Amino acid sequence: MKSFISQAPATRVVFGEGAMSELQSEISRLSIGRAFFLSTAAQRETIAIARESMPDIFAGEFADAAMHTPVAVTNAALAAMREVEADGLVSIGGGSAIGLGKALALRSGIPHIAVPTTYAGSEMTSILGQTEDGVKTTMRDPAVQPATVLYDVNLTLTLPAKTSGVSGLNAIAHAVEALYAIDADPIILLMAEEGIRALAGSLPRIGKDTQDIEARSDALYGAWLCAVCLGRTTIALHHKLCHVLGGTFDLPHAETHAAVLPHAWAYNAPAVPEAAAKLRRALATDRPAQLLFDMTASFGAPTALRDLGMPKDGIDRAIELIFKNPYANPRPLEPDAIRALLEDVWAGRRPNA
């Protein structure tokens, strides 16, 4: 057994069908008297239900959360939150809403309850990514870790099949990188493999029937495991690529992760034989990169960055930013190989791995 250090941040998790019904009790448990709700427009109806059910606690709402957590949006939300003298945050939605909640928690120090409605995973991490002037930067700080996470399977039933697929592949990417993270411990390796297995088995079922509650439950369970892996390990090339591409070219978050994942894995696979064996077992295939590529295509999602809005001449800019502040990676970053990777994912070529 290799030496390791294991440290688990304390986040309370409430999981299951109807978990949203526990929101008011969780607000009270954290001694929140005036809760400020965050979302995108898609979750306004859910927030309206919360407002009606707890009018004495509901302080206000901000429904303009945006991808990649723009600093300008955070500043606007912070002003609105301070105006109503909120002493707690509730974010309902995907990575945009939860990322905004984390940014506000960092600036204000007040408790944050996250209610994820996708499989993105931000809710279980102390990672905050923020975008300003076209550059996305990331940081880790315990202050941004939500105090409580409510996983209500019912809130994922309205996710379209395509959105479910790319969101689930985004979650899988977190666990894939955890398989070869330099700081992964034995528990994380088990969680990563199980999270990948749960999502890979449930996402095709959701593609056939978005109302399959058992498949939805399995997917949310897998997403939780993958999110824990993201929160407790060092990220590498895959996430660096997605942070650069998303922040620089304003590409959609989950779709970018889904498109990049097969290629980033194919790049690193030769350097991580033990991780490769675990991923083959979790996906039940000898060619993980091709299976992940085919899964993205099966949901009708783009496999090419050009179809997500990235200009081909942006490859040079992306390479510049990747090498300007690279993340630790098991395989050294080779300029020609990184260029080939980006050209392949820009064109949507199926990897041979």
Question: What are all long-range contacts of 130-135, with beta carbons under 8 Å and residues at least 24 apart?
Answer: 130/68, 130/69, 130/70, 130/71, 130/74, 130/103, 131/68, 131/69, 131/70, 131/71, 131/247, 132/70, 132/71, 132/72, 134/247, 134/248, 135/247, 135/248, 135/321
The answer on 198 and 110 residing in a single domain is no
Angle, helix 314-324 to helix 237-249, in steps of 10 degrees: 130
In angstroms, the CA 155 to CA 149 distance is 13
Asked whether residue 112 is domain-assigned, the answer is yes
The answer on 233 and 94 residing in a single domain is no
Asked whether residue 78 is domain-assigned, the answer is yes
Does the pLDDT at position 206 exceed 90? yes
Q: What is the pLDDT of residues 71-89, one digit of tens each?
A: 999 999 999 999 999 999 9
Does the pLDDT at position 113 exceed 90? yes
Tell me if residue 60 falls in helix, strand or coil.
strand
Angle, helix 253-268 to helix 237-249, in steps of 10 degrees: 150
Q: What is the pLDDT of residues 270-292, one digit of tens each?
A: 999 999 999 999 999 999 999 99
Distance of CA 12 to the CA centre of its chain: 18
The answer on 116 and 205 residing in a single domain is no
The answer on 328 and 194 residing in a single domain is yes
In angstroms, the CA 82 to CA 130 distance is 20
Asked whether residue 259 is domain-assigned, the answer is yes
Asked whether residue 1 is domain-assigned, the answer is no
CB 303 within 8 A of CB 296: yes
Q: What is the pLDDT of residues 163-181, one digit of tens each?
A: 999 999 999 999 999 999 9
**Residue 251: predicted pLDDT:** 95
The answer on 323 and 207 residing in a single domain is yes
The mean pLDDT value for 59-80 works out to: 96
**What CATH number does residue 326 fall under?**
1.20.1090.10
One-letter amino acid identity for 222?
G
Does the pLDDT at position 115 exceed 70? yes
The answer on 211 and 130 residing in a single domain is no
Asked whether residue 353 is domain-assigned, the answer is no
Write down which residue in 112, 129, 156 finishes a domain: 156
- How many domains does the chain divide into? 2
The answer on 274 and 134 residing in a single domain is no
The answer on 226 and 339 residing in a single domain is yes
One-letter amino acid identity for 158?
T
The answer on 105 and 86 residing in a single domain is yes
**Residue 134: predicted pLDDT:** 81
**Residue 79: predicted pLDDT:** 98
CB 233 within 8 A of CB 329: no
In angstroms, the CA 127 to CA 293 distance is 27
All residues at 6 or more sequence positions from 102 whose CB lies less than 8 Å from its CB, including other chains: 69, 112, 122, 128, 144, 145, 146
Of 38-47, 68-77, 78-87, 256-265, the least confident = 38-47
Exposed/middle/buried for residue 17 (C-beta within 10 Å: 0-12, 13-18, 19+):
middle
Does the pLDDT at position 19 exceed 80? yes
Write down which residue in 156, 173, 189 finishes a domain: 156
The answer on 166 and 139 residing in a single domain is no
Exposed/middle/buried for residue 2 (C-beta within 10 Å: 0-12, 13-18, 19+):
exposed
- Domain of 293? 161-347
Asked whether residue 58 is domain-assigned, the answer is yes
**Residue 1: predicted pLDDT:** 62
pTM of the predicted model as reported, rounded to 2 decimal places: 0.92
In angstroms, the CA 222 to CA 249 distance is 29
Question: Minimal CA–CA distance to 13: which of 123, 170, 141?
Answer: 123
The answer on 169 and 107 residing in a single domain is no
In angstroms, the CA 224 to CA 219 distance is 9
CB 89 within 8 A of CB 58: no
Asked whether residue 225 is domain-assigned, the answer is yes
**What CATH number does residue 144 fall under?**
3.40.50.1970
Band the pLDDT of 135: cuts 50, 70, 90: confident
Average pLDDT over the chain reads 95
Question: Minimal CA–CA distance to 118: which of 229, 199, 231, 32?
Answer: 199
**Residue 286: predicted pLDDT:** 97
In angstroms, the CA 352 to CA 25 distance is 51
The CA R_g of the chain, rounded to the nearest whole Å, is 19
The answer on 144 and 102 residing in a single domain is yes
Asked whether residue 6 is domain-assigned, the answer is no
Per-residue DSSP letter, 24: H
Write down which residue in 108, 141, 156 finishes a domain: 156
